Structures are given as structure tokens and as C-alpha cells.
Amino acid sequence: MTENQNLESLQTPGAVFFIFGATGDLARRKLFPAIYSLYREGKLAEDFAVIGVARRPRTHEEFRDDLYRSIQEFCRYKVKEDDLETWTKFAEHFSYKSLDIHNIDGYHELRDLTESVEDRFNIPGNRLFYLALAPELFGSVSFNLKKGGMLASEGWHRLVIEKPFGYDLSSAQKLNEELSQVFKEEEIFRIDHYLGKEMVQNIEVIRFGNSFFEPLWNNKHIANVQITLSETVGVEERGGYYDHAGALRDMGQNHMLQMLTMIAMEAPSRLYPEDIRDEKVKVLRSLRPYESEEDVKAHVVRGQYKSGESHGKEMLGYRQEDKVDPDSNTETYFAAKVFVDNFRWAGVPFYIRTGKRLPVKTTEVVVEFKQMPTNVYLGQKHNLEPNLLVIRVNPMEGIYIKINAKKPGSESKIEPFAMEFCQSCQVGINSPEAYERLIYDAANGDSTYFTRWDEVAAAWSFVDRIASAWAKNPSDIQMYPAGSWGPEQADELLALDGFHWWPVNGQEEDNVIWIKQ
Ligand SMILES: NC(=O)C1=CN([C@@H]2O[C@H](COP(=O)(O)OP(=O)(O)OC[C@H]3O[C@@H](n4cnc5c(N)ncnc54)[C@H](OP(=O)(O)O)[C@@H]3O)[C@@H](O)[C@H]2O)C=CC1
Ligand SMILES: O=C1O[C@H](COP(=O)(O)O)[C@@H](O)[C@H](O)[C@H]1O
């Protein structure tokens, strides 16, 4: 991948895409729809094939029926009556192999199938292995891919691997060692789907493409940064996985810290993937580690939802959810005050929070600027609200800035105005989904928005200290009602510093005058 390659104009190179875990939830809800969207937008070369792999028996036809249902349910492009010819052409590129990933003989049959589709679609030998499997299977599959003769002998091969990447630093190291016996680092694409989100990528452009932000982007002018990833859903069908992981591992180690790196990183001198990833890892290594259990207690709040009312419906508590231990102390919420100890950010708190069963689904970054050195309007009894830059990541996409201005027509009244650029209102459903972008990038060998091993390791080092402090006191967890904003202790984290969480998506402040496009 070269700098500034114009990805918009490129098609993926001809390749076979293997989806291990093709009968699973991720494949159905995200991966198949992403591949279809790429196809519909002409971003997938004609010389492609997809081979689904899982244990369940399926004929190729049955697999294509699953594919059809997945697209009709989850894809932003639906197959309409008059698209049937295009659909049939697309679906012909899909085949299925029933295989237990531990059974080496199966890989030999998979190789035969692969060679036959490569011949049929004239594919130049490139192979992309996407592991949509439980993480404990990642090492075995990669080893067996090599043993079973599945690595490409003519073109390239790449491994796309889902999160979570390990359970802690030591298991992540073990996994990485297993993978690196088969794949080189540049062949491993570790997914963090937040990095595929349009507005997370836009953080880079907002910061490095606008001269009026850069001079202010530091501890002289920024009072604090708030990152919220709130969800209204509970654990749904994933109780078995989630009860073992919790919010810190499920969202904190990856999505939240990755977003923090995008806000805090220095500008790379060039836009090569490694230059960007070098800057991100420096941020992760600058995170101030919590030194003791007391330190963790003072800076991190954990919570678990109990029953409550959300959007007019009675919700079960976490402990009553399917496949969750009824005495579970797993956190479904956490908030933390984090410091990035470098020249740019010294002394600026980053408050991060995520939780399930909160009142709104939103991902938002609020950058709160410091107050004016003195308020010259105090004599007129005007408080000045702090200026904010708010980046809305999802479901609404856009940015707004909050400034103080004179109320038009009034003598002296000053009011906060929010000026909004609502990207989702403009491009709406055409905004590509994260998985589309990431599959496309992986096929093009662009690793910019995938996490490199040293980033993963640095993130685990930071998170492990929290997890091990919590493990010593498992029942020290705050319960919050489903549908609330989580434990009050999370508000106190900010109140102690004289701040508060700014309202997020859909919960706009009453006194602000909105100027929307
Ligand atoms: N679902 C989601 O929204 C998200 C998922 N992820 C990650 O994606 C990965 C997959 O998750 P998800 O799709 O939800 O999981 P599912 O349990 O729904 O699917 C697992 C898949 O693995 C297959 N499988 C299991 N054991 C074997 C085996 N021994 N040999 C071959 N295939 C096997 C299953 O098929 P069969 O039973 O037919 O063998 C199934 O297709 C996980 O790492 C998860 O953490 C990450 C983010 C979001
Ligand atoms: O990775 C995960 O992300 C989802 C939230 O993703 P979003 O794109 O809908 O914001 C979360 O629900 C899930 O628990 C986690 O594994």
C-alpha cells in the first residue's frame, strides 16, 4: 500500500475470501451484507469468490439461500425483483465447505474446492482468510491452514481476525506467537470495527485538515475530553461470551482506546499505514498506568445493570439474562478518568464511559475547551459556556461546535449556539458500513485501520491493571437500573474536577440554540 492511493477508484484485486464461521451471527449480520454492498458499488473485482466454512452441513444452494436472507434482512442494498439476474450472478461466486477446523483432512478437501473456484473465476491465487470464529479457535485454524496446504503459493494470503484478541496481555501474546508462526505481521489484519466507522476515520481529517483546530489541540486550550459509547441493548444472545469478557474487555481495550488514540495522536508526517500506527501506539504507551487498587478505585467506576424501565419496557437485570451466571459480578458499564502523559496532553483528563442498557445508543466525543482567561461580560451577569467541539460517530454522524454569541436583536444577551454539520442527514444510508470499508481495505492490503500488535499489547498492559484490581474485589460493583445513565459515581469522577458529562445525542441542552443545516 502506498501513500495517498486513491482507494475510491480502486477495485479489490481478484481473490478468494474464506469466511470461517460462515453460519454464525457476525457473518449473517455484517460480513455477507458488506460483501454484497461492495459488489453493488462496483468495488469488488469480477474475479472473486467466497467460500463459507463452518461445521454445519449445507449444500452450496442452501448456503446461497442463507446469504440471500442475510442480505434482505441486514444489507443497505436489498435484492429487488428486477435485480434477480445480478443476484444470481453474484451468488454463483459463493460456495460452502462443511469442516471442523480441527480436522486436517477437511483442509485438503477445502484446498480442492479452492483450486476449482480459482480456475472457474480466473482468480490469481490471492487468499483472504476471515476468522469469524470464537477466539479460542484462532490459533488452531491458522496452524491448520498451513498444515493443510491452504496458504497461497502464487499470490498473497492475509488473515483477518476478529476481536477479542486475547483475554489479557499474556493470552494475547500467546495468540500472537501462534499466529506469527504462520503469518507475518503485515499479513495479519486485526479488526476493530470502530476504526472502520466513517466518523472515526473523519477524526483524522477534522484534526489534520483544519488549521483552526491544531493550534488549540493541547493542554493549554482543552479542559477535558469525553468519550461515550452508550448502548441501549443488553447482552442479547451473547451472554456466554459477555459474562466472561465484560465491558472493559469488550469495548474498553479496543474501541474506546482506539478512539482515544485518534483524538490524542500527533499528526503523522505521511499517511502511510505504519506512520499512523506509529503515532497511535505512542499514545497508548503514554497512558498513565494505575499504580494500585486504590488508584483504580479512584479513577475507574464499574457497574452492572439491574432490572429497570427502558423506552417504556420493563427490562431484566443482567443477572437474569440468558447464559449469564445469576451471581455474576461482570461489569456491563465502566467509566474511567485517563491521562495521556505527554507534552501535548499533560494534565488533561480524558473521561471515557461505555455501558449496556443506557438511555440512548450513541458514540460521541466531546472536546471541552478551557474558559476565557476572564469573563468581561460578568458585569452584565452573563456566564460564558465553555466552547465544545462534538464529534458524533453513530448512529448520527457529524460534528458540531458550541460557541457563545450575541442573541440577534437583543441589547446584550449572550447565548450558546450550536452549529452543526450533520453528515448522516446529508449522505444518510450511503455512508459505508464499517465492515465494508475494512473488508475492502484488507483485500487491498491497507492496514491503516487495523490494529498492529504493539497497539494491542500496549492497550492490554493498560487494561490489565484495572482488571486485576477488580478481580481482587469482585463484588465491589455498582448496580444501576436499566435505562439509566449508569452509576452516580461516574458523575462524581468529573464533578471532583469541576466538570460534568455533556448531554449526548438526542439529549440536547435546553438553553442552546441550534443552527442545523
Ligand atoms: N456477532 C457480533 O456482533 C460480533 C462478533 N465478534 C466476534 O466474531 C467472532 C464470531 O462471532 P459470532 O458470529 O457472533 O459467533 P457465532 O457463535 O454466532 O458463530 C460462530 C461460528 O463458528 C463456527 N464454528 C464453531 N466451532 C467451529 C469449528 N470447530 N469448526 C468450524 N466452525 C466452527 C460456527 O458454525 P457451526 O456451529 O456450524 O460450526 C459459527 O459459524 C467472535 O470472535 C466474536 O467475538 C466481534 C464483534 C461483534
Ligand atoms: O464490538 C462490539 O461492538 C458492539 C457495538 O458496536 P456498534 O458498532 O453497534 O456501536 C457491542 O454491542 C458489542 O458488545 C461489542 O462486542
Provide the 3-class DSSP secondary structure of residue 371.
Answer: coil
Which tops the pLDDT comparison, 427 or 276?
A: 276
Which ligand sits nearest to residue 247's alpha carbon?
A: 2
Q: Please determine, for residue 7, whether its predicted confidence score (pLDDT) is greater than 50.
A: no
Residue 458 CB less than 6 A away from ligand 1 = no
Residue 26 CB less than 6 A away from ligand 1 = yes
Largest CA distance in the chain: 83
Output DSSP code: residue 249.
I
> What architecture (CATH level 2) is domain 15-162?
3-Layer(aba) Sandwich (3.40)
Residue 459 · residue 164 · CB < 8 Å = no
CATH superfamily, domain at 195-431+452-496: Dihydrodipicolinate Reductase; domain 2 (3.30.360.10)
Name the H helices within 92-137.
104-120
Atom of ligand 2 at shortest range from CA of 231 = 12
Which ligand sits nearest to residue 242's alpha carbon?
A: 2
Residue 100 CB less than 6 A away from ligand 1 = yes
Give pLDDT, residue 4. 38
Phi, psi of 458 (to 5 degrees): -65, -40
Please write the tens of the pLDDT for every residue from 186-244.
999 999 999 999 999 999 999 999 999 999 999 999 999 999 999 999 998 899 999 99
**Residue 331 identity:** E
Active site residues: 255
100 annotated as a binding-site residue? yes
Which ligand sits nearest to residue 194's alpha carbon?
A: 2
CA 137 / ligand 1 centre spacing (Å): 10
Name the H helices within 400-482.
423-427, 434-443, 453-472
Crossing angle of the two packed helices 453-472 and 257-264, in degrees rounded to 10 = 120
CA angle 338, 455, 449 (to 5 degrees): 105
Residue 235 CB less than 6 A away from ligand 1 = no
pTM of the model: 0.94
Atom of ligand 2 at shortest range from CA of 235 = 14
76 annotated as a binding-site residue? no
CA 431 / ligand 2 centre spacing (Å): 18
Phi, psi of 466 (to 5 degrees): -70, -50
Q: Whose CA is nearest to atom 34 of ligand 1?
A: 21
Give pLDDT, residue 428. 66
Q: Whose CA is nearest to atom 15 of ligand 2?
A: 250
398 annotated as a binding-site residue? no
All three cell numbers of 176, joined, read 500472537
Residue 233 · residue 356 · CB < 8 Å = yes
- Distance, CA of 131 to CA of 152 (rounded, Å): 17
Please write the tens of the pLDDT for every residue from 290-344.
999 999 999 999 999 999 998 889 999 999 999 999 999 999 999 999 999 999 9
Give pLDDT, residue 154. 86
Atom of ligand 1 at shortest range from CA of 164 = 45
Residue 256 · residue 337 · CB < 8 Å = no
Domain span(s) for CATH 3.40.50.720 in the chain? 15-162
Provide the 3-class DSSP secondary structure of residue 30.
Answer: helix
Instruction: Return the closest-CA partner of residue 79 out of 63, 93, 90.
Output: 90
Q: Name residues whose C-beta falls within 8 Å of residue 127's C-beta, 6 or more positions apart in sequence.
A: 15, 16, 18, 114, 150, 151, 152, 155, 156, 157, 158
* Chain position carrying cell 494475547: 172
CA 291 / ligand 1 centre spacing (Å): 37
Phi, psi of 463 (to 5 degrees): -70, -35
- Distance, CA of 264 to CA of 252 (rounded, Å): 16
Domain span(s) for CATH 3.30.360.10 in the chain? 195-431+452-496
Q: Name residues whose C-beta falls within 8 Å of residue 108's C-beta, 6 or more positions apart in sequence.
A: 148, 149
Please write the tens of the pLDDT for every residue from 101-128.
999 999 999 999 999 999 999 999 999 9
- Distance, CA of 68 to CA of 90 (rounded, Å): 10
ipTM value: 0.98
pLDDT confidence tier of residue 254, bands split at 50, 70 and 90: very high
CA 32 / ligand 1 centre spacing (Å): 14
All three cell numbers of 454, joined, read 504493539
Q: What is the mean pLDDT of the chain?
A: 93
